[in-house]
Structure 1
């Protein structure tokens, strides 16, 4: 039988009525002739509740016990979904991570997949089971301890199962009806995309679009797993939602497919750093050791008079998530005190946002940067930092202009029109 993977997020299974609604969608796919693997998240709010219980019980908790507690939310959903399907006369069984078994690394709270053996689930399909309801977000370490996969773990579980079982497609059911050219809450001209390439989706996800987690898109692209994003709360058919697929499935695309943004950015500048080989390594090695996620980097070389002679110096500017600023400052100040690097000042700007345009069409079209910068200039939006890749251009701007910039860029590239 052809096989389909369906994933339901927390809002899609938030209560018994929504679990019943999700089960009805699964039954419809069974009636279309599919065997189905369903990946479920914990009911909305349950994981946060479990994390709160852990932290209240043991602020310096054992990570192994943390995973044992926090993974239980998905187990509840899986059991309830299987029971609901059985009530609908659909042969279904729930599966916890250890029963598959989903083999992972031993990094509790941030485990990675090692292997998903097919034998146990395939055997049950052969016996007449039509739906395997698998608890997402969890696995089993080499030490036979329960592990969890971190943020976006259920999306990643769904993609991993689709790859392991050679699924025809992996459908991600969520609270939105697809992937848009930008956030509809920011621009009322945002348009739902019928298809988007893996690379575009990966860039959009990493740049602030929250529909899919970066890790799941990365895994889908590596294994060529076709993803479909669609709404749990609407009647859907085979043309609903947005298909995330290989570039070869997209006959012709617009130069720019979407505008992404991230509010929670900060800009940090080390002023008057000695310009010498190894200085960038000293700075960013220090930040990496401190767990700071650096994004955009700009280096400005200049000269200064020092004790009667001229020497080259540099200002080093970078962006990072705003919640990592304190950690970055502490790490850089400690490195300076240890004489690992020197600088005259550290300037921090926490009132910035990152806005990006993304599109595989940028590879073969000139003038994208010119159009982008002209549109921002027309709205009197000043650019602080620029970063580019083959299919994206990102700028750092004052946060107060973020929504204006998104709307201006959406208009400039006419994203409200189909390609």
Structure 2
């Protein structure tokens, strides 16, 4: 299970999360939980780093910004204990989550899951801070923005989880942004490739790296809302969106393909600008004279 910053924003919401986790364990599951920092906390910590030294050391930056997830993991473990659950937090260096040494943008190389599996088998709920790991030199690393989704998928792969439930402030993946199009429809299933395309062109439901890792490791991912009633059932019976392989979707939809929609979804990005250039000369090097200054100004050209 993974809960994002909005879900962890404050004691009341952490209690709501703890109740969701408790219901999963009560349904007979062994549970590992990955958490993000409280909403806005990472930005606050980044600003502290910039105030301390505009040319900060990336290794020390990681030490600072990783503390946001450390706080929420401890708070959730304590809240679960108050509900009568056996729970403990595991920091990235305690498992450990092995990464390369690219501070502030590290990539996960592997997770030692032995101690974690033993703890879960003994009935403990494992609470793990996302976004962080341990470099080959024993330093704390962070995975970059949105890294907690990647952490959750990596943990699910390492422990052989049945699925990875990612709880957000929306209750699934929609055909388009329901805040823009009121009649957007929630999808029951979507393939890794389709979700990767949606994420890469503007969908904010999941981080692109997490989808790529799920596809590589074959981890089934379910997107759910954490803003559900306290007496709601376990996630097995809550209709979210399941992200699966092409083969699994084909089995699910066998016999139902006659009028299957050709387009899965449409992503919206309000940070795009459409620029039309006319009378571009048809000669070698003309395009380079356009894109050269754009590259120098760090302006990304998304589509031509």
Indicate the TM-score class for this superposition, using the shorter chain for normalisation: 0.7 to 0.9
State the match for 1:188 in structure 2.
182
| Alpha-carbon distance change, 168 to 284 in structure 1, aligned in 2, over 3 angstroms | farther
Tell me the distance in 2 between the aligned counterparts of 1:102 and 1:282. 45
Would you identify which runs of 4 or more consecutive aligned residues in structure 1 move more than 3 Å?
A: 266-274, 279-294
Deviation, 1:29, is 1.0
**Structure 1 residue 274, shift from structure 2 partner:** 4.0
Q: CA deviation at 1:267?
A: 4.8
How many aligned positions are there?
289
| CA RMSD, 1 decimal | 2.3
Q: 1:220 to 1:290 in 2, by over 3 A?
A: farther
- Judging by fraction of residues, say which structure has more strand: 1
Q: CA deviation at 1:273?
A: 7.0
- Counterpart of 2:100 in structure 1 is 105
**TM-score for both structures, normalised by structure 1:** 0.65
Q: Superposition pairs for residues 158-307 of structure 1, below 5 Å?
A: 158-234=152-228, 235-236=232-233, 237-239=235-237, 240-250=239-249, 251=253, 252=257, 253-267=260-274, 271-272=280-281, 274-275=283-284, 293-297=300-304
Unaligned residue ranges in structure 1 (runs of 5+): 1-5, 298-419
Tell me the residue number matched to 1:408.
Answer: none
Q: Is 1:120 aligned with 2:115?
A: yes
Separation in 2 of the partners of 1:292 and 1:247?
35
* Structure with greater Cα Rg: 1
Counterpart-to-counterpart distance in 2, 1:92 and 1:37:
10
Q: Which residue of 1 aligns with 2:89?
A: 94
Aligned 1:400-419 pairs, distance under 5 A: none
Q: Give 3-state SS (helix, strand or coil) of 1:93's partner.
A: strand
Say if 1:27 and 1:85, in contact at 8 Å, map to a contact too.
yes
Whether contact under 8 Å (1:93, 1:129) holds in the other structure is no
Select between 63-72 and 128-137 the one with higher mean Cα deviation. Answer: 128-137
> 1:248: how far off?
2.4
Out of 21, 24, 27, the residue aligned to residue 19 of structure 2 is 24
State the Cα distance separating 1:39 from its structure 2 match. Answer: 0.1
Distance 1:145 1:255, change over 3 A: same
Cα 1:154–1:56 change in 2 (3 A) is same
Uncovered stretches (5+) of structure 2, i.e. residues with no partner: none
TM-score, with normalisation over the residues of structure 2?
0.88
